[in-house]
C-alpha cells in the first residue's frame, strides 16, 4: 500500500512540475466565480468584463517565472568542471652498450654430439 501511494505521489509530482500552467488554468476555471468576486483587481469596475482574467494572467506569469528559475537551477546544477592534465609520456632509457666487456661471458658451445642423429638426418643424394 505504501509503495503504491509513494509511486502515485512521485508520478503526480513529476506531472505537476511539467504541467504547472495547466493546473493554474484548471484552478482558475474551477474557482472562476470566487476569483471574479474576491481576488480580481477590477472587481469594482464591472464594465471592463475582466471576470478574474487579470488575476489569471498574473498567476500564469508567476508560473512561467518559476519554471524559468527551476530551469536556471537545473542548468547550474549540470555545470561540469573539467580537469585538464598534461598527457603522461612513457619514456624508456636507452640501453648502454659496453664495448670493453664483450668477452665477459663465455661463448655457448654445444658439447653433446651424437652420431645417431648424423645417420638419420643427412642431405639427399642426387640421382644424376
Q: Looking at the domain assignment, is residue 117 inside a domain?
A: no
Q: Looking at the domain assignment, is residue 50 inside a domain?
A: yes
Q: Which parts of the chain have pLDDT scores under 70?
A: 17, 74-81, 98-119, 122, 127-128
What domain range includes position 19?
2-77
Residue 6: the pLDDT is 92
Q: Looking at the domain assignment, is residue 55 inside a domain?
A: yes
How far is the C-alpha of 60 from the C-alpha of 40, rounded, in Å?
14
How far is the C-alpha of 105 from the C-alpha of 97, rounded, in Å?
14
Query: What tens digit of pLDDT does each residue of 61-81 get?
Result: 888 888 888 777 766 666 666
Q: Looking at the domain assignment, is residue 33 inside a domain?
A: yes
Q: Looking at the domain assignment, is residue 123 inside a domain?
A: no
Residue 104: the pLDDT is 57
Q: Where do we find the cell 653433446?
A: 112
Q: Looking at the domain assignment, is residue 8 inside a domain?
A: yes
Q: Looking at the domain assignment, is residue 119 inside a domain?
A: no
Residue 102: the pLDDT is 56
Residue 111: the pLDDT is 67
* Domains: count for the chain: 1
How many Cα neighbours within 13 Å face the side chain of 124? Answer: 3
Q: Looking at the domain assignment, is residue 110 inside a domain?
A: no
Q: Supply the pTM of this predicted model.
A: 0.43
- Mean pLDDT value across the chain: 76
Identify whether the C-beta of residue 28 lies closer than 8 Å to the C-beta of residue 59.
yes
Selection from 11, 49, 55 nearest residue 29 by Cα: 55
Identify whether the C-beta of residue 34 lies closer than 8 Å to the C-beta of residue 43.
no
Residue 1: the pLDDT is 85
Residue 101: the pLDDT is 55
Q: 17 CB contacts (<8 Å, ≥6 apart)?
A: 70
Identify whether the C-beta of residue 52 lies closer than 8 Å to the C-beta of residue 33.
no
Amino acid at each position: 500500500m505504501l509503495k503504491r501511494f509513494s509511486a502515485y505521489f512521485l508520478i503526480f509530482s513529476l506531472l505537476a512540475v511539467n504541467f504547472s500552467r495547466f493546473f493554474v488554468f484548471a484552478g482558475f476555471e474551477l474557482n472562476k466565480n470566487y476569483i471574479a468576486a474576491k481576488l480580481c483587481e477590477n472587481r469594482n469596475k464591472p464594465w471592463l468584463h475582466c471576470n478574474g482574467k487579470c488575476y489569471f494572467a498574473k498567476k500564469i506569469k508567476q508560473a512561467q517565472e518559476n519554471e524559468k528559475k527551476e530551469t536556471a537551477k537545473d542548468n547550474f546544477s549540470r555545470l561540469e568542471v573539467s580537469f585538464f592534465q598534461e598527457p603522461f609520456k612513457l619514456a624508456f632509457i636507452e640501453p648502454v652498450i659496453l664495448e670493453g666487456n664483450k668477452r665477459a661471458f663465455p661463448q655457448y658451445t654445444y658439447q653433446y654430439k651424437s652420431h645417431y642423429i648424423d645417420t638419420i638426418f643427412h642431405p639427399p643424394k642426387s640421382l644424376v
